[in-house]
Amino acid sequence: MRALAALMLATLLAGPAVPASAAPSELVVIVSARSPVTALRPDQVAAIFLGQSVRFPDGAEAIPLDQRLGAPLRDEFYLRVTSKTPPLLKAWWSKMVFTGRGQPPAEAADSAAVRRRVAEHPELVGYIDRNALDASVRPVLVVQ
């Protein structure tokens, strides 16, 4: 009984943290609360994260910040915003690196780490789980 209760409790606790199998998680693209940027279109976000665009629409410099390689949130973000699976994304960045056109974005460990760094640097753009939002950052796109 106790083992069963523990299992149920663990399932309940784990529930929200494993969004892939339950309801789809809501991903939000964020900038610092100090940034003047209020909204971005999916194609603008895609261009920044694929190294095709280096500025926000208002002309300020934009630097993307990734979740760590292999994070489910990261794979979901790229699939929804750029239609690229992990191998296609790898091929894309191989093309950029091996033609001398750029290096992939820097990475942060998780949503909290992305939020912290984005909050501190107005030029950064990140994407996090909506549950990790707080007042230090501003959501500029809800990824559908």
Residues that bind another protein (CB under 8 A): 43, 47, 52-55, 61, 63, 82-88, 90-91, 94-95, 97-101, 103, 106, 121, 123
Closer residue to another protein, CB minimum distance, 11 or 41:
41
Three state DSSP letters for 22-40: CCCCCEEEEEECCCCCCCC
Return all residues near 84 (Cβ < 8 A) that are at least 6 apart.
78, 92
Instruction: Report the nearest approach of another protein to the CB of residue 55 (Å).
Output: 7
Distance, CA of 139 to CA of 34 (rounded, Å): 12
Do the strands 124-129 and 27-32 form a parallel or antiparallel pair, or are they unpaired?
antiparallel
Closer residue to another protein, CB minimum distance, 83 or 144:
83
Closer residue to another protein, CB minimum distance, 27 or 62:
62
Closer residue to another protein, CB minimum distance, 39 or 97:
97
Q: How many DSSP H helices and E strands does the chain contain? A: 5, 5
Instruction: Report the nearest approach of another protein to the CB of residue 87 (Å).
Output: 4
